[in-house]
Structure 1
Amino acid sequence: MMNKQRLLRITAAAAALTVIAGCGAKAAGSEPASTGALAVVATTPEVADFVRNIGGADVTVTQIIKPNVDPHEYEPTPADLQAIATAKVVVKSGVGLEEWLGTTITSAGFTGAVVDSSSGVTLREGEEGGEHGPDPHIWHDPRNAKIMVTNIEKGLAAAEPGKAAAFAANLTTYTAELDKLDADTVAAFATLPAQDRKLVTNHDAFGYYVARYQLQFVGSVIPSMDTSAELSGKQLTDLVAKIRATGTKAIFAESSLPPKTAEAIAQQAGVKVVAGEDALFGDSLGAAGTPEGTYLGAERHNTQVILEALAG
């Protein structure tokens, strides 16, 4: 849940951005416009990649949150407001991940369609009984990703009916790739004994992945689905004890979070920390132009890194 101080900052920023947007500032980082292409704003790297795959050449996508930026702590910029103001469709990940979006859309005067890609996904609650609401990291189960891209296809087709057949064809192609990703991941984890499938991450971002591929979630450095939570001394001690008691082999850092605390806990627990180029993509994707810059590539990276670390 968004704290009051952050809500006030976003509200004030949005009010100021309204004035700036009126000056016609160009949205930084937006892709060059194509004649006749549908202008879409996508909030996160994951949904932006989904829109590109479903929309193809018939859409131009402005991605709000850049790679390796923590979406839980994101605050909108003047360029974001201008991009939303000139878009025809806004696509969000949903489940409360983009707490800033509603205020920003209102300030931008946006009157187009907002597509909630999470619609229809069965949500999980956090390990703490849902204290922070449902888990927003739905894309880590490819079956949920299929629901997300189906919602996106419907939204694009409604906004651009003349291109509906192309969007439907792209959806068929991409869902087949998602099915293959899921099948490959199931097969990969079948090679790892159940007693070795123990996961400790920077924050509780992999619940859907854990459930889908039958891993055991031992704990997280940040004891929450929200990265703004803080680890108490007792929680740190408890996590170290749990890692030792369960025989967990590694702690996995994440690309959008600093690894220092994970490294300190790993040292105390006597296990390795997986970080740097091997860090998991929990909330983000990799750099544009790399395999990990796509959803499929990032998920394959995660699986390969986890398997190699736990098998070792």
Structure 2
Amino acid sequence: MLKRARRGAAILALLASAACGGTAVPATQAQATIAVVATTTQVADMARQVGGDAVRVTQLLKPNVDPHHFDPSPADLQSLATAQVVVENGVGFEPWLDEAVASAGYNGPVADTSQGVTLREGQEGHEHGQHDPHIWHSAVNAKIMVANIEKAFAQADPAHAAAYAQRRKAYEAEFDRLDGWIKQRIATIPEANRKIVTNHDAFGYYLDRYGLTFVGAIIPSFDTSAEVTGKDLADLVAAVQKAGVRAIFSESTLPPKTAQALATEAGVKVVGGENSLYGDSLGPAGTGADSYLGMMRHNTEVIVGALGG
């Protein structure tokens, strides 16, 4: 949750900005673009691809930052206060957003990229509620997400509506190619090996779309802040051994120690380090996973390589 001191500092910053005439954006730039605030690394990348030069995107979450523990800063609230469109993942993935928007005084449109996505049902005890928020892990869902972004941009900036539509269609064609490529790569894995164990339950849409079986997660929740018991870990070791799982996949936003200990106990290898999966975040610049398309390719190649494809 937002800290009271941060909220007070943010309000002072907003007042100071108003007294000075607002943000220091040149008039020509302000007229040529719309100010967009995007919450996650995934939707920020999508917003940039759809918006092109017609938008200025401020991204709240940085690469490899766990969104479950995010606390918006005064600078983030300042960006929200001056935004014309806010883009969110939705499905409760940003539980801090409503409070941040209210604290910033933003009353403009919020584009929920999950609108129209067929959501996976959660399991009892999942902290996010009854639906899985990790919708972007299917290229089919990604097409719906960018369509929601295009709609929001066109409504906020009708003068560039045709350009947004053109960029969205070109981007969707890349998703179609990506979707077919992932299916081909996963098909190279022997069927008996297509079993996944990860740090937390973040890859359900990917597994459903591309034909892999979810055996379990170290944190048995959509939310990385959920508590893990000794019984949870013992049960997972037993499930790994019974299913003949070949590898346990660590994630970039989570410490690898528990995954390593579990893998040792179960007698299987752990996949981590540079080969960690990107579950809740894109990768930093230069990793090859610093875009949505790159992240999906990285995860697929890691999974195929580890499972014998």
Counterpart of 1:269, as a letter, is A
The alignment partner of 2:130 has SS state of coil
Match of 2:301 among 298, 301, 304: 304
Q: CA deviation at 1:10?
A: 4.8
What amino acid is the match of 1:306? I
Contact 1:10–1:76, Cα closer than 8 Å, also in 2: no
Q: Does 1:138 align with 2:131?
A: no
In the alignment, the residues of structure 1 paired with residue 115 and residue 7 of structure 2 have an alpha-carbon distance, to the nearest angstrom, of 26
- SS where residue 200 of structure 1 aligns? strand
Amino acid at match of 2:13: I
Amino acid at match of 2:298: H
**3-state secondary structure, aligned to 1:22:** helix
Equivalent residue, structure 1, for 2:263: 266
Larger mean CA deviation between 121-130 and 95-104 belongs to: 121-130
Offset, 1:205: 0.2
Aligned residues: 300
Work out which of the residue numbers 169, 191, 194 in structure 1 matches 2:188.
191
- What is the aligned counterpart of 2:61 among 65, 87, 94? 65
RMSD: 1.9
Write the distance in 1 (CA, Å) between the matches of 2:293 and 2:4: 35
SS at match of 2:281: coil
| Unpaired runs of at least 5, structure 1 | 1-6
How far 1:18 sits from its partner (Å)?
2.1
Question: Paired residue for 1:202?
Answer: 199
Distance 1:311 1:288 in 2: 28
Aligned-partner Cα distance in 1 for 2:3–2:122: 26
Q: Is the alpha carbon distance of 1:133 and 1:240 closer, same or farther for their aligned partners in structure 2, counting shifts above 3 Å?
A: same
Amino acid at match of 1:309: A
Of 7, 10, 14, the residue aligned with 2:7 is 14
Q: Using the aligned pairs only, state the percent identity.
A: 56
Deviation at 1:14, TM superposition (A): 3.3
Secondary structure class of the residue paired with 1:24:
helix
Question: Would you say the 8 A contact 1:41–1:90 is kept in 2?
Answer: yes
Of 251, 254, 260, which residue of structure 2 is paired with 1:254? 251
Distance in 1 separating the partners of 2:86 and 2:4: 19
Q: 2:198·2:250 contact (CA, 8 Å) conserved in 1?
A: yes
Opposite residue 230 of structure 2, the aligned amino acid is G
Provide Cα deviations, 1:114-137, integer angstroms capped at 9, x if missing partner. Answer: 111111111112243767321100
Cα distance change of structure 1 residues 11 and 197 upon mapping to structure 2, 3 Å threshold:
farther
Q: 1: distance between equivalents of 2:96 and 2:108?
A: 18
8 Å contact 2:247–2:269 — kept in the other structure? Answer: yes
Range with bigger deviation, 39-48 or 282-291:
282-291
- Aligned amino acid, residue 236 of structure 2: L
Query: Would the aligned equivalents of 1:64 and 1:80 in 2 still touch at CA under 8 Å?
Result: yes
Distance between the aligned counterparts of 1:305 and 1:217, measured in 2?
A: 16
Map of 1:101 onto structure 2: 97
Letter in 1 for 2:81: A
Q: How does 1:193-232 map to 2 (within 5 A)?
A: 193-232=190-229
Q: 2-side partners of 1:184 and 1:77: how far apart?
A: 39
Residue 82, structure 1, aligned to residue 75, structure 2: no
Name the TM-score, length of structure 2 as normaliser: 0.93
Select between 13-22 and 111-120 the one with higher mean Cα deviation.
Answer: 13-22
Offset, 1:227: 0.4
Give the alignment partner of residue 147 of structure 1, picking from 139, 144, 148.
Answer: 144
Q: Which amino acid aligns with 2:94?
A: E
Q: Specify the alignment match of 1:237 in structure 2.
A: 234
Native 8 Å contact 1:15 1:107 kept in 2: no
- 1:181 and 2:178 are equivalent in the alignment: yes
CA contact (8 A) 2:143 2:175 kept: yes
